[in-house]
Structure 1
Amino acid sequence: MPEDQQPSPPDDKRPTRRTLVAFVVGAGVVAGAGALATQLLGGGPQKTPPSRTLTPHATATAATGQRTDGLLVDRLLQRPGFTVAHRGGSLDWPEMSMEAYRQSVLLGVNALEISLARTSDGVWFGLHDATLDRTSGTTGFVAAQHSWAKVQAHRITAAETNAPQQPPQPYLRFEDLVSAYGRTHTIFVDPKVVPTDHLGELFALMSALPDPTGTFVAKGYCTAQAWPVDAAARGYRTWGYYYGSELAADPSMLTTTQARWSWLGLDYEATADAWRTLNATGKPVLAHIVPSRAKADRALSLGAAGLVVSGVREVLAR
């Protein structure tokens, strides 16, 4: 199986103790990009981001929700310790649901992250796995083998959150997330389990925005090839994440893969030596997936430029 189609190592091993609350500092797919472009570029009502959204890297007008001060991605790096809501805040709300992204935006995250799957009828939606089994309790429900209508019959449970009693949420189309927050927030995009021959569709969806390369960051496990290479050729920044234990076992991993990535990622448990090694590349390094304030403080002290976090509520509550 080609490297890009292999399941990537879990980028977000969840804490086994719920006391580890996450940290942060601070139908069918459109035929091409037409439907999304119509929605985003004036063919339908715009969704104005919540007024409490804290986005120091960009501002929005109350009337239109459009940015007023430059590229989101460029501005993001000007905020030391910026925050990226992992799956929208996967320790707080059902992961990659609109409710998760809405709540994390209300609390003031700087960026949003989403993993994508693709249905048999071409709908791109938020899903980390090949199946709905973990998130909905199904058995052998492979997303790529079912239509969007079939996916919509299921809900994302809160079983793996810190509040499992909260109601389940619908799965979220990528285009709906972009419609809601693509003008106000940087969005990290990872086509987790989708074959590379479908990437053209994803680029078309991203290109429906007036400034796609200023909005999206192509995210992936460090050994991914087609996705970061294709994204970089189109002008997108890329973010590849590493694990300190893997780098220690194979020091050549960094030297053979880092050229594909504009920014790098390192797990919060990595040693100080691993952090020094990645920081020595001169590229911004983001800590992932930070589960507590103490771990976040450590990552920042070791030189993390930003934090990809799963528990938004604990850290951003003032």
Structure 2
Amino acid sequence: MRDAAENLPAGRVLRVRRRDGGDVTGRLYQRRRDGGDIPLRPRPTGTPAAARDLVAEFLARRPFYISHRLGGTEYPEFTQAGLDASLRAGFKALEISLRRCATGEYVMIHDWTTERTVPGTKYPIWSTPWDTLKTLRQAAGPFLRFTDLLDQLPDDVILAVDHKVTSDKQNTNSSDLQSELDLYELLDDAFNGHPERRVLWKHFVNAGSVERAKARGYRTMCMLYPAELATADTSRWDVLGLEWNAPDAAWQQLTATGKPAIAHIITNEGQAQTALSKGATGLMASWPTTVHP
């Protein structure tokens, strides 16, 4: 038996093993500029069943629930403990923040450094290799890569993805834009060419990446604050979010758009009921043992 490689578009390589009677598909890799490979999930072989648009099905629920930062108020943000608790609680959507580290892996973290979640450290994510980041501990658990999540993601759960370096402002940095493009291609591979059926793209009001996401077929979500709502062009997004305790007038303006309206960030049942009474159709919840589907 010998190894062979078949070149694929966008600098990716599909490893195959040659044997009598044909090729056996192996792991899918994303090529890094330094010559190394980052493993991705393999594309399933055979003819897949007709795909469901899980994002559309999810947004049609009343109410729908998204686990914020994998239950990041009750548990350390973006850790296995929070992921396990969110799935046990029945969440069918997980909100995640992604940043690419120095060796190319996408790490689930909100901040640009490790300072807040790992006190006593201050590693910038973009310039720190995964071999260093994986040794750190956020209270009860280590950092997770995006591929760690993908490898255990149930087939009926969707993702709300926040690519931090392009989600909150107009960004012309070539490395950040390349990171966004490479993330799109990773998702293409992970979800069999139809990631828009499993991924909701999250932005903030000044993001320049909204149109790029929509051009690729993704539905988009904007998390707003009352001061932004008055001047925001809400037609740019498919889902709108507002603080659960925002003034009634702001909620009335949001719900008047007729779009799914998600309240953030919910940590207890009282907040959930207040948000629903204001017209929220979904809840971005961060305490999975208390507020869940």
Fold shared, TM-score > 0.5 on shorter chain: yes
1:191 and 2:163 are equivalent in the alignment: yes
- Cα displacement (A) at 1:68: 8.2
Contact kept, 8 Å, 2:103 with 2:130, in 1: the verdict is: yes
Pair 1:179 & 2:151 matched? yes
Q: Does 1:144 align with 2:147?
A: no
Q: Write out per-residue CA displacement over residues 165-220 of structure 1, whole angstroms, 9 at most, x where no aligned residue.
A: xxx21111112212211622110000113623321110011111123110001102
Shift of 1:224: 0.9
* Offset of residue 245 of structure 1: 3.9
Task: Assess, with a 3 A threshold, how the Cα gap between structure 1 residues 119 and 285 changes in structure 2: closer, same or farther.
Answer: same
CA contact (8 A) 1:131 1:141 kept: yes
Q: Which amino acid in the other structure matches residue 181 of structure 2?
A: G
Please state if 1:214 is matched with 2:197: yes
Please give the alpha-carbon distance, in whole angstroms, between the structure 2 residues aligned to 1:128 and 1:243. Answer: 18
Q: 1:225 aligned to 2:208?
A: yes
- Give 2:202's aligned amino acid: K
Q: Taking structure 1 as the reference length, what is the TM-score of the superposition?
A: 0.73
Residue 246 and residue 260 in structure 1: after superposition, are their counterparts in 2 closer, same or farther (change >3 A)? closer
Q: Residues of 2 paired with 1:182 and 1:310: CA distance? A: 20
Structure 1 residues 69 and 121, CA gap change in structure 2 (3 angstroms): closer
* Secondary structure of the structure 1 residue equivalent to 2:246: coil
Q: Tell me, what secondary structure is at the counterpart of 2:220? A: strand
Counterpart CA distance in 2 for 1:67 and 1:224 is 35
Cα distance between partner residues in 2 of 1:279 and 1:87: 25
Aligned residue for 1:73? 55
Q: What residue identity is the alignment partner of 1:204? A: E
- Once the two structures are superposed, residues 51-87 of structure 1 have per-residue CA deviations (whole angstroms, 9 ceiling, x without a partner) of xxxxxxxxxxxxxxx9988221011022101110001
Q: Structure 2: which amino acid aligns with 1:143? A: I
Distance 2:112 2:165 in 1: 6
5 Å matches for 1:1-318? 30-31=30-31, 35-38=39-42, 41=44, 70-157=52-139, 168-181=140-153, 183-193=155-165, 195-208=176-189, 209-210=191-192, 211-226=194-209, 228-247=210-229, 251-252=230-231, 254-255=232-233, 258-316=234-292
TM-score by structure 2 length? 0.79
Distance 2:50 2:269 in 1: 32
Give structure 1 stretches of 5+ with no counterpart. Answer: 1-28, 44-65, 158-167
In 1, distance between residues paired with 2:178 and 2:235? 23
Identity %: 33
Residue 136 of structure 1 aligns with an amino acid whose one-letter code is V
Q: Which runs of 4+ in 1 moved over 4 A?
A: 66-69
Greater relative contact order structure (CA < 8 Å, 6+ sep): 1
Greater helix proportion: 1
Cα distance in 2 between the residues matched to 1:156 and 1:174 = 16
Specify every segment of 5 or more residues in structure 2 that has no aligned partner in the other structure, as ranges.
1-28, 167-175
The secondary structure found in structure 2 opposite 1:181 is coil
* Cα displacement (A) at 1:129: 0.2
Which amino acid letter does the alignment assign opposite residue 41 of structure 1?
Answer: P
Whole-Å Cα distance in 2 between the matches of residues 289 and 149 of structure 1? 32
Count of matched residue positions in the alignment of Structure 1 and Structure 2: 249
Give the conservation status (yes or no) of the 8 Å contact 1:244–1:269.
no
Over residues 105-148 of structure 1, what are the superposed CA-to-partner deviations in whole Å (9 max), with x where a residue is unaligned?
01111210100111011110100000011111143311111111
Q: What SS does structure 1 have at the residue aligned with 2:122? A: coil
One-letter amino acid matched to 1:96: F
Q: Which amino acid aligns with 2:61?
A: R
